[in-house]
């Protein structure tokens, strides 16, 4: 198969992660997280994020979102999120079904919420006939590959704090944001009450961390993780994956590489007739508009998603293992499909 540009989920597992899982496969270990690997991984994640509440490893990103939101939501409360938020578009209504909450969605240019956009969703506050906004969910990096700057995050967080709202950050691609912004995990985490930190899209086989910033919000985390079926019995294999990603900052190097490959793709597209990049390229995704006939032609050989059929926008994603030559071959394919001359 030619390299997929469909998703960072399409890539395999980083060899160091695979090795760490193999190395953890020795003797017996106590189950459900009472093992030395989990103790080390969660302690290190706690240190890196400066979280005082706790760190809870889970199996997937949707589970991380349900658990994270569940820790912050009251029974009558709703979640304000961007229309494009993964919790709204791609999780089969899990938050609504499992938490019984309501998503108050906002059209958000570039996938980002602002205090103004959030304020526009607060009108029913105090009226018992309306689901009460309790949590604001943001995604970093966003579903359209953009990143909130630290100043933008601060504005959202300050507004929420001033208005009695809690912040949940979906960090399935938090590593890509850290690499793009050149900041630490703690600098991102301080703008959320609870966040997820993804490993799966960044070289792991399947593990995410739910990071709880303050102890009061962590009181029920262990119980809710179990109820949401996110407590892995053989937790050491999840923890071993994170330990490999944290070792020598592999998580940051993987994300930085994926970002660089997306930037290389975007640079190659610049000035290519018939291809319009529609969002700033700030992580591992390039969104582009091209003629539907050219999309169809390109999809004969290459794997990627059509993001929006109506506007003929596609999503091209890179990953930790995308090579420069993969990008260059893909660029040549795009040039051939669109009739452009390769640079």
Query: Which stretches of the chain bind ligand PLP, using CB under 6 A?
Result: 60-62, 65, 86, 139, 143, 170, 172, 200
Between residues 86 and 166, which has the closer beta carbon with respect to ligand PLP?
Answer: 86
**Smallest gap from residue 21 Cβ to ligand PLP (A):** 18
229 vs 223, 260, 286, CA distance in Å?
A: 10, 36, 34
Measured from the CB atom, the residue of 92 and 270 that comes closer to ligand PLP is 92
- Of the two residues 41 and 58, which places its CB atom closer to ligand PLP in the complex? 58
Of 172 and 179, CB closest to ligand PLP:
172
We find the least distance from the C-beta atom of residue 216 to ligand PLP, in angstroms, to be 25
Nearer residue to ligand PLP within complex by CB, 61 or 133: 61
* Nearest to 146, CA basis, from 177, 170, 169: 177
Query: In the complex, what is the shortest distance from the CB of residue 170 to ligand PLP, in angstroms, rounded to a whole number?
Result: 5
SS3 45: helix
Closer to ligand PLP at the Cβ: 204 or 272? 204
CA distance 84 to 109: 9
207 vs 337, beta carbon nearer ligand PLP: 207
Shortest Å, Cβ 225 to ligand PLP: 15
Question: What minimum distance in Å lies between the beta carbon of 173 and ligand PLP?
Answer: 6
Judged by beta carbon, residue 35 or residue 208, the one nearer ligand PLP is 208
User: Do residues 178 and 188 touch, judged by C-beta distance below 8 A?
Assistant: yes
CB of 174 to ligand PLP, least distance (A): 10
Cα-based torsion angle of the residue sequence 101, 104, 145, 42 in order, rounded to the nearest 10 degrees:
-30
DSSP letters for 79-112: EEEETT-HHHHSSTTHHHHHH---EEEE--GGG-
Q: Closest distance between ligand PLP and the C-beta of residue 139, in Å?
A: 5
Query: Angle 93-97-99 (CA atoms, 0-180°, nearest 5)?
Result: 115
Nearest approach, Cβ of 180 to ligand PLP (angstroms)? 15
Euclidean distance between the first and final Cα of the chain, in Å? 25
Residues 112 and 142 sit within 8 Å (Cβ to Cβ): yes
Core vs surface per residue 45-75: b (16+ CB within 10 A) or e: bbebbebebbbbbbbbbbbbbbbbbbbbbee
CA dihedral (328, 334, 339, 343) in degrees, to 10, reads -30
DSSP assigned state of 29: -
**Cα–Cα dist 121/116, whole Å:** 9
Q: Toward ligand PLP, which CB reaches closer, 9 or 311?
A: 9
Tell me how long the chain is.
343
| Closest separation in Å from C-beta 76 to ligand PLP | 25
The residue of the chain with the least Cβ separation from ligand PLP equals: 61
Q: How far apart are CA 235 and CA 227, in angstroms?
A: 16
């Amino acid at each position: 198969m030619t390299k997929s540009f469909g998703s960072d989920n399409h890539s395999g597992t980083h060899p160091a992660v695979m090795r760490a899982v193999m190395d953890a496969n020795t003797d017996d270990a106590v189950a459900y997280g009472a093992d030395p690997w989990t103790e080390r991984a969660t302690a290190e994640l706690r240190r890196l994020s400066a979280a005082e509440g706790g760190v809870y490893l889970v199996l997937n990103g949707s589970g991380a979102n349900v658990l994270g939101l569940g820790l912050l939501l009251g029974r009558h409360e709703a979640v304000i999120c961007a229309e494009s938020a993964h919790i709204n578009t791609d999780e089969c209504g899990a938050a609504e079904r499992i938490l019984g909450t309501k998503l108050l969605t906002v059209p958000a240019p570039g996938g980002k919420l602002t205090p103004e956009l959030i304020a526009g969703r607060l009108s029913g506050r105090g009226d018992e006939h309306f689901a009460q906004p309790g949590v604001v969910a943001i995604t970093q990096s966003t579903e359209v590959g953009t990143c909130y700057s630290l100043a933008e995050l601060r504005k959202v967080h300050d507004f929420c704090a001033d208005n009695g709202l809690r912040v949940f950050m979906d960090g399935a691609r938090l590593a890509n944001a850290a690499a793009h912004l050149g900041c630490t995990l703690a600098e991102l985490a301080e703008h959320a009450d609870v966040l997820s930190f993804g490993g799966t899209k960044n070289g792991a086989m399947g593990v995410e961390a739910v990071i709880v910033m303050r102890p009061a919000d962590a009181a029920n985390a262990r119980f809710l993780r179990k109820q949401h079926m996110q407590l892995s019995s053989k937790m050491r294999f999840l923890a071993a994956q994170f330990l490999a990603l944290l070792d020598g900052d592999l998580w940051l190097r993987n994300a930085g590489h994926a970002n660089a490959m997306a930037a290389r793709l975007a640079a190659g597209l610049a000035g290519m007739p018939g291809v319009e990049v529609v969002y700033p390229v700030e992580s591992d995704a390039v969104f582009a508009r091209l003629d539907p006939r050219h999309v169809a032609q390109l999809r004969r050989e290459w794997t990627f998603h059509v993001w929006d059929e109506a506007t003929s926008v596609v999503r091209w994603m890179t990953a930790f293992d995308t090579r420069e030559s993969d990008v260059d071959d893909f660029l040549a394919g795009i040039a051939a499909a669109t009739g452009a001359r390769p640079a």
